[in-house]
């Protein structure tokens, strides 16, 4: 499929995780870094919010981090550089090369036409489909290869999650459109 067919594909969120140091004194960094909060009664890590790019990072005493709210690879790169700089200024010895990688990409897509979810369930009759409209208005379709979860809504909107890169998301979308093409 040519990229123009992905015109409505939009990255909603990227989650990345990994390690930036051997250990981090959370009490110390929460005092020294602006917008870094620590409330151990509620959560075992510090929450460091960055405004530009807009990213929330969870920082743990083990030196591990989880970054969320990312919209593209450049924002991940810039945000991670800002986190490392802030940590270094607060006295944390970080790795020269942080070991942080994308763990999940969430995208939205509009197929551009109505999807009859009941027909999808009956026609495809697969064990990797969950559809309980009394519980949730979307159909959950677990694609095995690439390992992607798609939420289909009758409006034609689709949420894709679980991809580690955009190529996986696009392959999952191609597979989905091929399956739906035989029904619609």
Task: State how many domains the chain has.
Answer: 2
Q: Give the pTM.
A: 0.88
Does residue 92 share a domain with residue 122? no
- Please indicate, yes or no, if residue 5 is contained in any of the structural domains: no
pLDDT, tens only, 100-157 = 999 999 999 999 899 999 999 988 877 789 999 999 999 999 999 999 999 999 999 9
Among the candidates 66, 101, 136, a domain finishes at 101
Q: pLDDT band for position 1 (50/70/90)?
A: very low
Last residue of a domain, one of 76, 101, 126: 101
25 is a domain residue: yes
Assess if residue 7 is contained within a domain: no
Share the mean pLDDT of the chain.
93
| Residues 115 and 90 occupy one common structural domain | no
Measured in whole angstroms, the distance separating CA 2 from the mean position of its chain's CA atoms is: 24
At which of 101, 135, 160 does a domain end? 101
67 shares a domain with 89: yes
- With beta carbons less than 8 A apart as the criterion, state whether 55 and 67 touch: yes
Q: Are residues 20 and 63 in the same domain?
A: yes
Contact by Cβ (8 Å): 121, 181? no
Q: Residue 56 is part of a domain; what is its CATH number?
A: 3.30.310.10
Read off the pLDDT of each residue in 161-173 and give the average, rounded to a whole number: 94
Q: Is the peptide bond before 6 cis (omega within 30 degrees of 0)?
A: no
Q: Within a domain: residue 86?
A: yes
Continuous segment of H or E residues that includes residue 83: helix 73-89
pLDDT at residue 171 greater than cutoff 60: yes
pLDDT at 183 over 80: no
Residue 184, pLDDT score: 67
Domain assignment present for residue 4? The answer is: no
Q: Three-class SS of residue 73? A: helix
Q: Residues 157, 83: one domain?
A: no
Report the DSSP pairing between strands 157-163 and 148-152. antiparallel
Residue 79 domain boundaries: 16-101
């Amino acid at each position: 499929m040519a990229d123009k067919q992905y015109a409505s594909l939009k990255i909603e969120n990227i989650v990345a995780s990994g390690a930036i140091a051997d250990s981090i004194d959370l009490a110390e960094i929460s005092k020294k870094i602006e917008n870094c909060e620590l409330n151990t009664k509620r959560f075992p890590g510090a929450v460091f919010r960055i405004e530009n790019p807009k990213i929330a990072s969870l920082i743990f005493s083990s030196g591990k981090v989880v970054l969320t709210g990312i919209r593209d690879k450049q924002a991940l790169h810039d945000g991670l550089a800002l986190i490392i700089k802030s940590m270094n200024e607060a006295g944390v010895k970080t790795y020269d090369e942080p070991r942080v990688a994308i763990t999940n990409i969430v995208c939205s897509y509009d197929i551009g036409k109505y999807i009859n979810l009941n027909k999808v369930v009956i026609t495809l009759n697969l064990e990797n489909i969950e559809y309980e409209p009394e519980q949730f208005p979307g159909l959950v379709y677990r694609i095995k290869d690439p390992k992607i979860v798609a939420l289909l809504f009758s409006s034609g909107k689709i949420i894709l999650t679980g991809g580690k890169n955009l190529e996986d998301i696009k392959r999952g979308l191609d597979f989905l459109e091929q399956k739906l093409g035989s029904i619609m």
